[in-house]
Amino acid sequence: MNISILGSTGSIGTQTLDVVREHPEFKVTSLSCGRNIKLLEEQIREFQPAFVSVSDEKDALDLRSRIRDTKTKVYSGMEGLIAVAEDPDSELLVTGIVGMLGIRPTIAAIKAGKKIALANKETLVTAGHLIMPLAKKCNVPILPVDSEHSAIFQSLQGNAENKIHRIYLTASGGLFRTKSIEEMKNAKLEDVLKNPNWDMGAKVTIDSAGMINKGLEVMEAGWLFNVKREDILVLVHPESILHSAVEYEDGAVMGQMGVPDMRLPIQYALTYPRRISLSGDRLDLFRLQNLSFFEPDLKKFRGLSLAYRAMDRGGNIPTVFNAANEKAVSLLLEGKIRFVEIPDLIERAMDEIAFISNPSLDQILDTEKAARESVNR
């Protein structure tokens, strides 16, 4: 199978390429990245894609010079992202870029008939009402890559005629699961960037530390599986062994277990409905000492509570939540705010931005801009 990857130098992208290395049946035809052109050059020389895209034209000029001995073409900006998304030689697009940048390329790929291996949750959080009907109209499968949504997807196989009673969406609880609110207030950036179980990029790691990532995942699950918010229960599960589960009307609960390894859900999206071999550690049930589950503390993790509020209101408010969070995280990484200020900035934006019940793509992008400006004041 020929595949294209948006965000090839990030966590999802590099682990997708790890899967490709193990299985010659996959061929990479195009790639995109942000600014890490050194790693992208290495990927070009190893996988020999027909073309790649970078975010900035200056970086594109530099990369063209670096790889002038290859046949790979270099594009840039949104035009380049859409070129990768529409790559005529690719059958499947892995959307591994972070943020709302993924919306337009995902729409372009769906219209071009590409299978979507979705790791960009913001696409559905902000534009699920546009993406899901379009995918249905174009007969394009949306294959979830996030470990939790992949686990739900796997738990649904063979149950198309059975109604979902509820979904259990698991969360490790992150660094602050056992910490006090006071300790969260005093946390340094280097502390926030440590996740006890998963290897992720900086943005997702910060989101996970405050369980904002879980809030985004609840919204994404609602669109992917057509389930109401009140029927999606977040379970804090520190061991990260049960990756999520589905309860059916008869009380049966089906879940997917495994060691924390993002390559598994990535590979399942690439090979669905087949399962093929994968290197790495395996789950040893005999060595499991305990599997524990807790309700999330919504007073400590206010970001999750705000996500519930955004999903309940609907319209453009999930976009406000997401965009305000993205901007707040960037301010944290720049050292301009403290970690505990992120929910405050999100809530302010949610209170300020005018409600739109059924936003168009342009209105979604306008809302994003307004929310970022609200946070940046």
Beta bridge partners of 233: 168
- Indicate the burial class of 358 (C-beta count within 10 angstroms; 0-12, 13-18, 19 or more): exposed
The percentage of residues in the chain with a pLDDT greater than 90, rounded to a whole number, is 89
Q: pLDDT (tens digit, 9 = 90+) per residue, 17-56?
A: 999 999 999 999 999 999 999 999 999 999 999 999 999 9
Report the CATH number that the domain containing residue 38 is assigned in CATH. Answer: 3.40.50.720
Residue 312 lies in a domain: no
Residue 73 lies in a domain: yes
Identify which of 184, 174, 168, 171 has the alpha carbon closest to the alpha carbon of residue 299: 184
Bigger pLDDT: 189 or 86? 86
* Domains of the chain: total: 1
Q: Which domain holds residue 82?
A: 2-144
Q: pLDDT (tens digit, 9 = 90+) per residue, 202-212?
A: 888 899 899 99
Residue 83 lies in a domain: yes
Residue 170 lies in a domain: no
Half-sphere CA count of 352, side-chain side, radius 13 A: 19
The DSSP call for residue 230 is G
Residue 139 lies in a domain: yes
Residue 66 lies in a domain: yes
> 289: Cβ–Cβ under 8 A, 6 or more apart, which residues?
none
For 51, phi and psi rounded to 5 degrees?
A: -155, 160
Q: How far apart are CA 50 and CA 87, in angstroms?
A: 9
Q: pLDDT (tens digit, 9 = 90+) per residue, 327-336?
A: 999 999 999 9
Give how far Cα 356 sits from Cα of 306, 316, 318, 375, Å: 18, 5, 11, 19
3-state class percentages of the chain: helix first, strand second, coil last, to nearest 5: 50, 15, 35
At residue 201, the pLDDT reads 74
Say whether pTM exceeds 0.85.
Answer: yes
Residue 364 lies in a domain: no
DSSP assignment of 311-351: HHH-TTHHHHHHHHHHHHHHHHHTTSS-GGGHHHHHHHHHH
Residue 65 lies in a domain: yes
